Chain A
């Protein structure tokens, strides 16, 4: 992997935006990112979005966004990889720069879930599973997570797994762009109703609208522009859609492979990572992600969470602005929020959430139940 840099980021608050369309939210985030980078235009646009067809009956978002930004004429496409669509768009954008075709690329992620009723959003979420199997019998995302949670409980016990939402909420408290910027106690998590037992309502991300954007630039342009920059590396891998057809359903092999690859390419050791932005769409996925990517021994994530290991002042801070659970999880936008937040950390603009002397951040983005995985490593420059 050659040299790609993040040069600007922008995002909206995650909320129910009744007064703005999907397109308007994405344009708003994109304009902020361009402003942050201090450049008026780019060579191409990549859009990450999962549910445009299902909820807005809208495809062709790349070209629409180029028009909204006054950039008509440049190539612009939407990229899709379920809940990891934003990371997939970043992946393609990085390749565009590495190929030498583009010097500056705008990546925009957006999702507007409040355009659907909650059962319509649940239906649309089935698109990340195999419709002809899981979709047909109603084994939705939460059902699969509930089953994995049960298998985990049987093998290791579930102590501390419910701490992951508590940690994310603690970090989101006071964060202006977070959907749920308040603390949540473990008692509240454990007394919330089941969504698919043993998984509880307060262990899963909510439904919201949001858009985030990132400007990626090549080495030559990075030297010229003045905005703060971070180095950007990305790797990806896939696994079978249904976890129960994998060798070990409790191991996210896709995430293990993507992580290995990005560490190998950057010659960074896992112990050098200062913080991780996890894909905590559910508490159990947060735990399995940390264990699968080699940061924690299998079965130990919950207990380490209880000890404060993943809190802002812990040894390995996770979800420094609240993660998917508390900052929010507007699918196609999520990876862009993660990258934007990591960029703020590494350029010392993270305010109250700043981690001392953060030099290396890792971002994990998953499509479905880790059938698609991205590992993104960002470095201070």
Chain B
């Protein structure tokens, strides 16, 4: 129990460690790092585009480029890049929501401002560059027309053209160095130009007027463009991107620190897991040792056990042979018991016969003869007188005659009883001789009349039957003489009759009838049944009644039916019992193969 809980605890710790490792692995996944790298990359590209934008603006400023497409395309590119960046950074859990939205607003505000300034710059710069580019042409135009004038006019208008030229130079200078002084100078030049215009011929006036308008435009636009560029440079777009970069860097630092921490934790937990594994491995190796040790012990025990089993087997064999000897002896005892039982049964008849003879002898009429002789002896002297005269004497001859008759009857009865007695003794002799030849002795087959056999059996029980007031009903069918083992048949019949008698010992409410029946079934089986109307056999005893040692009687020894069944089997027949249950009586049926005696049909 203890070790089981310890093992469970260990497994739990192992699983816990493994899940922590898994969790940390997922936690420190490359996702964030990858998106971080992408964000940094996008910001770098944004800054690059911003730089390109600045560069293109400056190129337009110094009239290096006359194509304004490059001032548009970076914005498109930037908005595309920003969308991607925003998609990554606005993802939940990336930043505190306000932090990113603030950054986004700041950036977009700066971008909008810069875009506005660029748009204005484009518009103003385009016209400014145009006018500046036109100045030399305008001057040429004026000079060309001036050249066409008459010398007189030329001389007269010399100062005007010089003024114009000065103004042109001042304007060009103004384009480079835009100062208030320069602006004031140009303004003075323009005023001078207006004054000079009065003196100029018509053709020149329009040319000068065109020049004047363009210079005025430059005077107006140049500071504006310069201011736009200053504003443009002041737009903190790059700074916004730097701030975002800074935030991302801090995030990354945090992430890196977390990563580092995770790494250390991973290392620690992994080490723990490895230690547990090592410990388990050590345990395993030890367990192997243990198992090996136990195995060898088991082997030894096994060997010992085998030895012991062998020894025991030998002992058992010895015991068995002893037992067999014992059994043999016991068998002999059983045989003896059987013999004694059967002998006992017959002895019963002998005893009855002897008792009968002794009783008859005790009440013998022969005693009357003695009395008669005494009477004669008393009257010896006057015997004649006595026999003829005396009252008593006259009766004496008649008495003696009667006595002779009575004695003769008595003698006959005694002779019969003694014949019975000797028959029983013969039976005992038979039993003994039969039992002596039990083991392997062939049964003695002799011609028998079944009815005689039954009568013999009844006779042997007759005293008891009479005592128990058992009425025997004889139902002998047409049974021919058979060849049979008289002794075994008698043994069985006596036993069955005796049992029927005992079975009806407790019956008091009706007549004690016992039916003996002999029939031939199917011309090949002799069937003898003994039916009583006694206590019957309970269902549960049906199979046990033939077992050795089974008895329902207090003083019974349980050999009777057992030896009967054995005897029936020895005669190639069988003995069966039938009963409807307790109180319904029982029928025992002996079936034997029919072997007709010689001379029978």
A and B form one complex: no
Name B's A-contacting residues (CB within 8 A): none
Name A's B-contacting residues (CB within 8 A): none
